Homo-oligomer: A and B are copies of this chain.
Amino acid sequence: MLEPSLDLYGEAAERVEGLLVDLLTQSRARYALLIDRQGFVILHRRAAWAPKPPSLDSLATLIASNHSANEAIAQLFGEASFRESVQQSDGVGTYVESVGDKALLVTVFDATAPLGKVKLFTKRALERIQAVLDETREAAPMADIGGSFSAHAGALLDELFGDGKTP
């Protein structure tokens, strides 16, 4: 089954949600979403004044798929991918930035939010979200199946089957 390539729980999720709220307050954008590159919504926030958004699952799927398609264009010019992408109509716009190589930060805004502010505060949120993700990765509890486990298991197997040296 297809699963999100990035999961956020507990305190880390709360901190990122706080950053999305700050982004909306500072930029006056409507919605902010953290999605993964497969199109799963990881976290999202909506400005209190913003109208009900369309299906965020559909939006995330379309944006992730377009991001992949854009990579083909970037690659024509010898670039791995485009770092940022802005789409604007008269009524609404989207601003998308890469968060590492697994996620995208999406800000949806309308004519009341100046694009300069949207870009500035999305970039600022991006740095802070990246920091939270980096910390989470470092702090993740890992079962230690390293050196000492291997040595111990080896010794046990030797005891059961011999170490291959004594006949």
Contact = CB atoms under 8 A, between A and B. Distances in A.
A54 B75 CA distance: 10
A114 to B, nearest CB: 14
A138 to B, nearest CB: 27
Contact of A78 (B77, B83, B91): B91
A69 interface: yes
Given A54-B76, A92-B74, A66 B63 contact: no
Given A85-B85, A86-B86, A87-B85, A92 B66 contact: no
Contacts of A66: 66, 69-70, 73
Interface of A: 54-55, 58-59, 62-63, 65-66, 69-70, 72-74, 76-94, 108
